[in-house]
Copies of this chain bind each other. A is one copy, B any other.
Amino acid sequence: MQSIQSEGYPVIFENSIPELVKFVEQGNYSRFFILTDENTGEHCLPIVQTALAHLDNFDIIEVNAGEENKNIDFCVGVWKMLIDFGADRKALMINLGGGVITDMGGFVASTYKRGIDFVQVPTTLLSQVDASVGGKTGVDVDGIKNIIGTFTQPRAVFMADEFLHTLPPRQILSGLAEMLKHGLIVDRQYWDTLKTSDLSLPSTELIHRSVEIKNEIVLQDPHEKSIRKALNFGHTIGHAVETWSLLNDKDPLTHGEAIAIGMICEAWLSNQKTDLPDNELIEIIEVLGGLYPHYQITEESLPTLLEHMQKDKKNLNGNINCTLLTNIGQYSIDNICFADELCDSLRYYAAL
Please give the residue numbers on chain A whose beta carbons come within 8 Å of chain B beta carbons, in ascending order. Answer: 30, 72, 75-76, 79-80, 83, 86, 88-90, 107, 110-115, 136-138, 141-142, 144, 146-151, 223, 310-311, 313-318
Contact = CB atoms under 8 A, between A and B. Distances in A.
A258 B326 CA distance: 63
A150 B114 contact: yes
Contacts of A114: 136-138, 146, 149-151, 313
Nearest to A114: B149
A148 B111 contact: yes
A110 B225 CA distance: 16
- Interface core residue of A136, A137, A315 (most chain B CB under 10 Å): A315
Contacts of A88: 313, 315-318
28 contacts: A30-B316, A30-B317, A30-B318, A72-B75, A76-B141, A79-B141, A79-B148, A80-B141, A83-B142, A83-B144, A86-B310, A88-B313, A88-B317, A88-B318, A89-B313, A90-B316, A107-B111, A110-B150, A111-B111, A111-B148, A112-B147, A112-B148, A113-B147, A113-B148, A114-B138, A114-B146, A114-B151, A114-B313
A116 to B, nearest CB: 10
B147 A79 contact: yes
Contacts of A79: 141, 147-148
A86 B150 contact: no
7 cross-chain pairs, A with B, having the tightest CB-CB distances, nearest first: A113-B313, A114-B149, A111-B148, A30-B317, A88-B316, A79-B141, A90-B316
A59 to B, nearest CB: 14
A97 to B, nearest CB: 21
A123 to B, nearest CB: 24
A207 to B, nearest CB: 26
Nearest to A225: B89
